[in-house]
Amino acid sequence: MSNLRELRRTYGFDEVAIAPGAITVNPEMTDTSFKLGDVSIDIPVLGSAMDAVANPNFIGKMHEQGALSVMNLEGVQTRYEDPESVLLEVVEAGNDMVTTVMQKVYSAPIKEDLIGKRVEEIKSTGSKCAVSMTPAVTKAYAPIAVEAGADMIVVQSTVTTARHSSNSIKGLQFPELLEMVKVPIVVGNCVGYDVATEIMETGIHGVLVGVGPGAACTTREVTGVGIPQVTATMDCAQARDDFFQRTGKYIPIITDGGIRTGGELCKAIASGADAVMIGTPLAQSEEAPGKGFNWGMASPHPALPRGTRVNVGVKGTLKELFYGPSSVSNGTQNLIGALKVCMGMVGARSIKEMHSAEVVVAPSIKTEGKHYQLGLE
């Protein structure tokens, strides 16, 4: 019996709460900005590189709200001269056919000339340009994007490590990439202390945290792989802090996925995130190209789709999403207002000070005293 393995207890957003601080500050005195390399961002929000929430026009609208959106260089924007008509094809597909339609749409070849064109379109809005790609194509596409003016490269796959083994190709080496392009490089996704540490040691500028929590992602159902976001964020935040103590280099971590409300945004920051990446809340905005639908980057995979199209509806404008005024009481609007109020309650004037807030295990946090709200009385 000595070989029995123990299961580690892990926690998601619904199982924890933030304890009030011993001091409080006025929300107007809080600063929500952060930096990724030399790129400054007013609010700690990155838009996910999903086609339903990332065309050049939408990225410009996000910039107007102080956020930074990421465009997928392997999505419809670089496969089609007229991506909007293709997006409409995905939106209008029946539920029984949508995966097949997406597989067909995303089988069209990527046109390298469209990479530079889309980067230029993004830059013309006044926004910084961040573009995402998988490791397999990074060495080919990253230099094209940077030459066209991209300000940040995001290298993203479902699970990323610094030590990938393959029989067919040489894996992407991040130090080699850093020599190729002289812009900040964000890498993800990962969920563990050791992996996050090894990725940071390659010299990159930011780490995406999260495997499978997104509303449109089915990775956890298809593969069984994932760690709840609070634990994943805390583990990677500890790696960041230890790495900083050892090297003097601070590598921001971005909690990616599973965030729908202001409370969940606050819990991610209190758990140690420097920022969050969101998709579905953006897909609910009036400005989103997905027209009330969202789907993940792995949804159209030709052999093993790990995502689905979800009907999230249109709930309001980007301004209402981030700053209100909110017309609902469920926390899905005025996310930045909620964050600033929370920072005031815990006495945090900055994102880094928010990392010192106490996070407690609280499985009844959403149900205690809420009988009438839950329709139980």
Residue 98, domain CATH = 3.20.20.70
Residue 374 lies in a domain: no
Each residue's pLDDT tens digit, 247-286? 999 999 999 989 999 999 999 999 999 999 999 999 999 9
Burial of 12 (0-12, 13-18, 19+ CB in 10 A): middle
In a domain, 366, yes or no: no
Assigned domain for 55 exists:
yes
Structural domain includes residue 5: no
Number of domains in the chain: 1
pTM of the model: 0.93
Residues near 53 by beta carbon (within 8 Å), at least 6 away in sequence: 47, 69, 279, 282, 283, 288, 289, 290, 294
On whether residue 2 sits in a domain, the answer given is no
C-beta separation of 37 from 183 below 8 A: yes
Does 234 reside within a domain?
yes
Range of the domain at 176: 13-361
What is the CB neighbour count within 10 angstroms for residue 6?
A: 5
Which residues of the chain have a pLDDT value below 50?
Answer: 165, 167
pLDDT tens per residue across span 100-130: 998 999 999 999 999 999 999 999 999 999 9
Assigned domain for 153 exists? yes
Q: Give pLDDT, residue 1.
A: 53
- What confidence score (pLDDT) does residue 262 get? 97
Residue 373, domain member (yes or no): no
pLDDT of residue 312: 94
- Specify the pLDDT at position 369: 83
